[in-house]
């Protein structure tokens, strides 16, 4: 029996204030797949994430999430099934909360103290499992405000997993991180991708160096249009990367990671 797609977009176009932000997007995310949503700033990545997360309806085209078509279903039934990690949640966390409390309160989508809800022993143990899944178990008793930005982002990813989401959306988790913190985050996401129980995922980035091992598909945007989409080993090329950024770029594969650069002009 054929499995139902997690997300299916057909000819999706979004117009905002008279400006076309996305044009003719076709995209299917199948169970078990992990995608990179890639492109330069202003390419339409954020708008596309709003569509996939059900917070924005397209101007034209159809969107199905978990088999339900937007416009024909109450999206409040869909949203709890999606784990989302973006820039906003970290601003809501009280700095004196310890990491384990922040993760377990994700079960109720709240940022209040744990005394306001009842948690069973199994809830606490699963919260610890979520921390372990992103290599953050040693941070369980640390206060959020004492952590580095990279550590905080790993805690928020663990928090998004505590509801056992059926789709995980990671909106530029590497933004603002230094090299060491970025590499630790990539390692955590790679470990999560290896976990057979982890959900299908979409990682938004504009740096090929941030693509973790285990993310096998990529959708590349430029000017609101798809430049290339499909298996990353086939689709991520010098030509596609150069088109996405409208400049000549070269790409190099280093084991299971990527590196890109702009060739220097020859000297006179």
Other CB atoms within 10 A of residue 252 CB = 11
- Mean per-residue pLDDT for 93-105? 87
Which residue from 168, 251, 247 is spatially nearest to 207, judged by alpha carbons? 251
Q: Is 3 exposed, middle or buried (0-12, 13-18, 19+ CB in 10 A)?
A: exposed
Does residue 114 have a pLDDT over 60? no
Q: Cβ(102)–Cβ(139) under 8 Å? A: no
256 three-class SS = coil
Side-chain half-sphere CA neighbours of 250 within 13 A:
6
- Rounded alpha-carbon distances, angstroms, from residue 30 to 9, 135, 194, 216, 255: 12, 26, 17, 12, 26
Does residue 101 have a pLDDT over 70? yes
Q: pLDDT tens digit string along 135-168?
A: 899 999 999 999 998 899 899 999 989 989 999 9
Side-chain half-sphere CA neighbours of 168 within 13 A:
29
Q: What is the Cα–Cα distance from 229 to 220, expressed in whole angstroms?
A: 6
- Helices 179-194 & 149-161, crossing angle to 10 degrees? 20
90 three-class SS = helix
172 three-class SS = coil
| Mean pLDDT across the chain | 90
Output phi, psi for 160, to 5 deg: -70, -20
pLDDT at 268: 43
pLDDT at 249: 95
Which residue from 90, 160, 173 is spatially nearest to 131, judged by alpha carbons? 160
Which residue from 151, 143, 204, 156 is spatially nearest to 177, judged by alpha carbons? 151
The share of the chain scoring above pLDDT 70, in percent, equals 91
């Amino acid at each position: 029996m054929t499995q139902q797609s997690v997300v299916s977009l057909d000819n999706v176009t979004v117009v905002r204030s008279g400006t076309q932000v996305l044009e003719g997007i076709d995209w299917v995310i199948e169970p078990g797949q992990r995608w990179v949503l890639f492109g330069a700033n202003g390419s339409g990545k954020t708008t596309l994430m709003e569509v996939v997360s059900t917070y924005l309806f397209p101007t034209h085209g159809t969107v199905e999430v978990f088999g339900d078509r937007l416009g024909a279903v109450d999206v409040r039934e869909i949203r709890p099934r999606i784990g989302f990690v973006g820039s906003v949640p970290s601003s809501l966390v009280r700095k004196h909360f310890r990491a384990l409390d922040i993760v377990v309160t994700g079960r109720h989508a709240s940022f209040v103290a744990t005394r306001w809800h009842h948690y069973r022993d199994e809830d606490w143990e699963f919260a610890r499992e979520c921390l372990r899944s992103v290599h953050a178990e040693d941070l369980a008793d640390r206060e959020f405000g004492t952590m580095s930005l990279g550590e905080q982002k790993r805690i928020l990813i663990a928090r998004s997993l505590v509801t056992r989401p059926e789709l995980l959306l990671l909106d530029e988790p590497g933004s603002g991180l230094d090299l060491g913190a970025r590499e630790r985050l990539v390692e955590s996401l790679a470990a999560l991708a290896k976990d057979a129980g982890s959900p299908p995922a979409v990682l938004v980035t504009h740096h090929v160096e941030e693509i973790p091992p285990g993310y096998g598909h990529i959708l590349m945007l430029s000017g609101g249009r798809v430049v290339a989409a499909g298996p990353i080993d086939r689709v991520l090329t010098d030509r596609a990367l150069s088109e996405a950024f409208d400049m000549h770029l070269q790409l190099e594969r280093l084991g299971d990671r990527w590196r890109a650069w702009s060739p220097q002009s020859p000297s006179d």
